[in-house]
Amino acid sequence: MNLVETSRAIQEGVVSLGIELGSTRIKAVLITHDFNAIASGCYVWENQFDNGIWTYSLEEVWQGIQRCYAQIAADVHGKYHMPLTKIRAIGVSAMMHGYLAFSRSGALLTPFRTWRNNITEQAADELTNLFRFNIPQRWSIAHLYQAILNQESHVDEIHFLTTLAGYVHWRLSGEMVLGIGDASGMFPIDDDTGTYSAAFLDMFDALGNVSPYPWNIRDILPKVLRAGQFAGTLTREGAQLLDVSDHLQQGSLMAPPEGDAGTGMVSTNSVRNRTGNISVGTSAFSMIVLDKPLGKIYRDIDIVTTPNGAPVAMVHINNCSSDLDAWANIFKEFAERLGVHLKPDRLYETLFLATTKADVDAGGLVNYSYLSGENITKMPAGRPLFVRDPNRSSFTLANFIQTQLYAAFAPLKMGMDILKNEEQINADVFVAQGGLLKTQGIGQQILSNALNTPVTVMSTAGEGGAWGMAVLAVYAQYGNGSVSLEDFLDREVFGNPGSITLNPEPNGVAGYEEFMKKYQAGLPIESMAIQSI
């Protein structure tokens, strides 16, 4: 669309807004009906470790969203010389899982417990054994059951349980609903009915320590919706909450709120059977859309769904880029002591490009990027740890940065190897997105070598999950069932996507395998660090 056409679309409100609350950034993207981003806003935030809980404050949730929207409104006014007053459709996405429990009056009963908390091991184990279905520690039902096992007083008052995306959607629309992809990280989904498994709901309610409570699990979980279904409209109160300048009109169509895994699948066009995608950031996850059920239960493999309800095998790791970011900040501080002020993109580019001179096995160096606990390696807490043999390793800048990148993907590889080796499930190619993949293919190549699978990065994934959520908002305008999500993405959104694909390098694959041998052999050191420090 040209400037005149875009201006007309803004004036007529033929635009859609996607909002995503990620672990380090809240981002909002405004797109036109041809899926081009015309304005965006971003707010940087960090989780807090408060009284043994990883959390974010709900006050900062709204501060971040409002800042993002204000940036978009200012951008629109600056470029197109008109206020943003009408938006046809809005979608909200956020980090999946976690625990947000509200009373009948709408009060938050306990601080938000995010996916990062490894505090529900007993509950997750008991529910997995009860259902014969893997319940990871970060799932909402594990948090709820652990609170019951802990006899926490707030449980008696629960009226509504939801995720972060579901909470924001509720405040904007008044609707207590959730997209099926996000809902599948709260409680297991029945593929045939497209909602929570009735058999598992009955099992949960029948538990002796659950039945005394005044609520029924069916009543406190959000209603499940597939992509494209009606999820309410923006209320007057919601419009004022989103736009503090009070220019935005109510009435925007609301798409079902989704998790970041779902928007990752949309923004990489990976919702058809046997397609795969990977998102790398503070945490990381890989997704493969299944065409058959897994042969058995794996505690390291989640079964979730696409935004239209197809089953997905998900490998989720709690730690990816956080430790690397911490080391990068050390180099930034050192540069500043020399009077050199580097912008983040230049800093990371300089460090990543150093790996072009690294040894394929990272010189025998080992790193554990555990800012928090890691389920796949059974670590209950985080102790970032760098280890080297002073006599048999090559301690250079190139190898050090290579080790950081290798370690960022190591738990993900361990989970993916389960699918590949035990179930013979692998995607022909993974479509990936995330900040670690920006620098001239460095991270992309390492990821391809780690998984021994081609990795594609799309130009359309540049705006990430917020753009994917805006696309789902456009899809919501089509009406339920008029066109499948797969066909919508293929025909309307990704007709001619720009992309770069890198294939695994034999030497790189072998080098990464050597790194993994040391990484897995050294895991007891990480355990001792957790116990001792």
- Cα R_g (the chain), whole angstroms: 23
The answer to whether the predicted template modeling score (pTM) of the entire model surpasses 0.85 is yes
Identity at 49, one-letter amino acid code: F
d(CA 415, CA 304): 15
Alpha helices in 436-522 (DSSP H): 442-451, 464-476, 485-488, 506-521
- Length of the chain in residues, anyone? 533
What pLDDT is stored for residue 238 in this prediction? 98
Pairing of strands 223-225, 302-305: unpaired
Quickly list DSSP for 258-307: EEHHHHHHHHTT--STT-EEEEESSSEEEEEE-SS--SS--TT-EEEE-T
Tens place of pLDDT per residue across the chain (533 aa): 788 899 999 999 999 999 999 988 999 999 999 999 999 999 999 999 999 999 999 999 999 999 999 999 999 999 999 999 999 999 999 999 999 999 999 999 999 999 988 899 999 999 999 999 999 999 999 999 999 999 999 999 999 999 999 999 999 999 999 999 999 999 999 999 999 999 999 999 999 999 999 999 999 999 999 999 999 999 999 999 999 999 999 999 999 999 999 998 998 899 998 899 998 888 888 999 998 889 999 998 999 999 999 999 999 898 999 999 999 999 999 999 999 999 998 999 999 999 999 999 999 999 999 998 998 999 989 999 999 999 999 999 999 999 999 999 999 999 999 999 999 988 888 999 887 887 778 999 999 999 999 999 887 545 578 999 999 999 999 876 679 999 999 999 987 777 889 999 999 999 999 999 999 999 999 999 999 99
Task: Specify whether the CB–CB gap between 468 and 264 falls below 8 A.
Answer: yes
Domains and CATH numbers, the chain: 97-162+187-220 (3.30.420.40)
Q: Counting beta carbons within 10 angstroms of the beta carbon of residue 499, is it exposed (0 to 12), middle (13 to 18) or buried (19 or more)?
A: middle
Give the Cα separation of 70 and 383 in Å (integer): 38
* Single-letter residue type at 66: Q
